[in-house]
Chain A
Amino acid sequence: NAGVTQTPKFRVLKTGQSMTLLCAQDMNHEYMYWYRQDPGMGLRLIHYSVGEGTTAKGEVPDGYNVSRLKKQNFLLGLESAAPSQTSVYFCASSYSWGEGTQYFGPGTRLTVL
């Protein structure tokens, strides 16, 4: 039981390049989330999904897109990376909304030059 895994762990991009971050969970959770963590700002929700085939915007969605084609996977895409997207990205999943514990992946450290 691996929990929540993220690929890759580290990535360096040049401004304007694109990339996709992959999140996978093996707990059969309906809900999945993408956060970014920046110093002094805590975690901010980028996008989330309440089930396979659904996605919704969070607090800071601009510049990102997501897809949830399979229940266990949640992909985060950056179409044209900007230096402001330099951050640590965390994926999480939960069994239920609201009171449900969120289980986090180990994070992806992204630097955009």
Chain B
Amino acid sequence: AQSVTQLGSHVSVSEGALVLLRCNYSSSVPPYLFWYVQYPNQGLQLLLKYTSAATLVKGINGFEAEFKKSETSFHLTKPSAHMSDAAEYFCAVSGAGNEKLTFGTGTRLTIIP
């Protein structure tokens, strides 16, 4: 079985500041890792995913995440926050084989003007 832990249910950053959303995973098999974003009153959409190719994964809207096996982490970053980044972000993990996708509890990102 696998799981993800997202540290911080709410994160606030100033516009133009670094965005860092933390995700740690637990998996007994090589993981596939995902970040999804949910804008208000919408469904989730994929930001980026790691599937055992490059450890630094670039996604949409300037986001990226680095897979660190030694730390079992997949933190999401963006160098400069924009007002349009305000949303809820979900980290998710599945595993090679028959593992289903498991979501974290989400982090709500607020951008301060």
Chain A positions near chain B (C-beta within 8 angstroms): 4, 40-45, 48, 58, 90, 92, 97-99, 101-102, 104-107
Contacts and interface: CB of A to CB of B under 8 A. Distances in A.
Given A42-B90, A98-B32, A48 B42 contact: no
Contacts, number: 54
13 contacts: A42-B105, A43-B103, A58-B100, A97-B94, A97-B98, A97-B100, A98-B94, A98-B99, A99-B94, A101-B34, A102-B44, A104-B45, A106-B43
Interface of B: 9, 32, 34, 36, 41-46, 49, 51, 90, 94-101, 103-106
Contacts of B43: 4, 90, 92, 104-107
Contacts of A4: 43
Contacts of A40: 9, 105
